[in-house]
Structure formats: C-alpha cells, structure tokens
C-alpha cells in the first residue's frame, strides 16, 4: 500500500516537473523574442545586421536544433514517452555499384528497390522536383552542408523533420541515386562525403 502511494506520488512529481520545464521553455522563448525586438527597435543598425544575417546568409537550422536539444531537451514535455517507442530499425551505410560525375555531384548506380540511408543527421529543408535530378530531398546537415538526394521516392518524411544518420530516407527510382553536396552556395567534391 505504502509502495503504490510512493509510486503515484513519484509519477505525479515527474509530470509536474515536465510541465514546469515546458512552461520555463515557453517563458524563456517569449523573453528572448521580446529582448530581440526591443534591441531592434532601439538600435536601427542592429536591425540591418539581423536582416542581412537572416535574409542573405544560410542559417543552419540543424545546428540550432542540435544546440537546443543539448541545452533544453526536446521541445515536447513528453520526450521520455516518445523515446521509448522511437527505435531505429534501419541503420545502413551507402552501397552502390558504380559512380559517375553528374552535373554538380555524382550519379550512383544502385540495386533494384535500393533503400537510401541518410548520410548525416540534419533538417529536411526541401522536398520536391529539381531539374535534372527528379524527385529530390535536401537535408541541411549539422555540419552546415546541404546534401541533395536526387531520384528518390521519400514518403516517410516531411519538410522540416529532423532526421538521424543511418535512418531510411526513401527508395531510389530506376536504380539511380544522385547526390550533391553544397555549402554556402558552393558545390563540394562528392568523394569527400561518400
């Protein structure tokens, strides 16, 4: 009897702690936004600096997401519940039969129904058609590199999802996979990344 009361009290405390953490995150976010808005209003030159940084440079949302999770944990207060159910069942390395230079990257010949692994963790910033690459998914990796996966049927992911290295991205179409690596508007040599 005493033990069940203790466990009930402990689970209530845990729920209260999660709720308090969530409220603190919301409060911290509101204060941060207000401070930035006050600084922008009081200093016009700061407004131009922020405008240039936001609109003229590539912001790494993957880095921001990683930093936020390290400092504050998950956005949701039920992180521990989600983690118990979220178990990776696909952890593969990139396998291909041959490689050829193609446009700004590489064209890989892969096997039938090839399941494409995610090369590095990051945030999905584009899903759609790209000229010469077909159905394309672009992931902004934690290291700041944008990786294009072309000719891929990716049905299990959505725009702005955070995806983990080694997990399934989708299926290659017609036995070909196009990869492009880009950072700060410059195309990188694919040999350094596959």
- Do 193 and 149 touch, CB atoms closer than 8 A? no
Taking each helix axis from N to C end, the angle separating 2-42 and 44-56, rounded to the nearest 10 degrees, works out to: 110
Looking at residue 37, its pLDDT comes to 84
Higher-confidence position of 128 and 69 = 128
Looking at residue 11, its pLDDT comes to 55
Homologous superfamily (CATH) of 98-192 is Glucose Permease (Domain IIA) (2.70.70.10)
Mean pLDDT along residues 27-32: 88
Looking at residue 63, its pLDDT comes to 75
Residues of the chain with CATH 2.70.70.10: 98-192
Looking at residue 20, its pLDDT comes to 83
The alpha carbon dihedral of 11, 15, 16, 21 has a sign of positive
Confidence of residue 7 (pLDDT cuts 50, 70, 90): very low
Confidence of residue 45 (pLDDT cuts 50, 70, 90): confident
Residue 86 burial (C-beta neighbours within 10 Å; 0-12, 13-18, 19+): exposed
Looking at residue 54, its pLDDT comes to 67
End-to-end, the C-alpha distance of the chain in Å comes to 59
Mean pLDDT along residues 44-69: 74
pTM beyond 0.95, yes or no: no
Mean pLDDT along residues 11-27: 75
Looking at residue 87, its pLDDT comes to 52
pLDDT at 95 over 70: yes
Rounded distance between C-alpha atoms, residue 10 and residue 2, angstroms: 12
Residue 88 burial (C-beta neighbours within 10 Å; 0-12, 13-18, 19+): exposed
């Amino acid at each position: 009897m005493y033990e069940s009361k203790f466990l009930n009290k402990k689970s209530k405390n845990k729920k209260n702690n999660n709720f308090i953490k969530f409220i603190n995150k919301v409060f911290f976010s509101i204060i941060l936004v207000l401070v930035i808005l006050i600084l922008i209003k009081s200093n016009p030159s700061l407004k131009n600096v922020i405008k240039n940084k936001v609109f003229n440079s590539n912001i790494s949302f993957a880095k921001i997401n990683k930093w936020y999770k390290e400092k504050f944990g998950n956005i949701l207060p039920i992180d521990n519940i989600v983690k118990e159910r979220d178990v990776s069942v696909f952890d593969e390395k990139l396998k291909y039969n041959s490689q050829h230079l193609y446009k700004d990257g590489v064209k890989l010949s892969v096997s039938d129904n090839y399941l494409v692994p995610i090369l590095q963790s990051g945030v999905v910033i584009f899903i759609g058609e790209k000229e010469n690459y077909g159905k394309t998914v672009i992931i902004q990796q934690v290291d700041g590199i944008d990786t294009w996966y072309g000719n891929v049927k990716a049905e299990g992911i959505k725009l702005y999802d955070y995806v983990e290295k080694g997990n399934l991205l989708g299926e290659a179409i017609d036995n070909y996979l196009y990869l492009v690596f880009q950072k700060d508007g410059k195309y990188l040599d694919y040999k350094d990344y596959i």
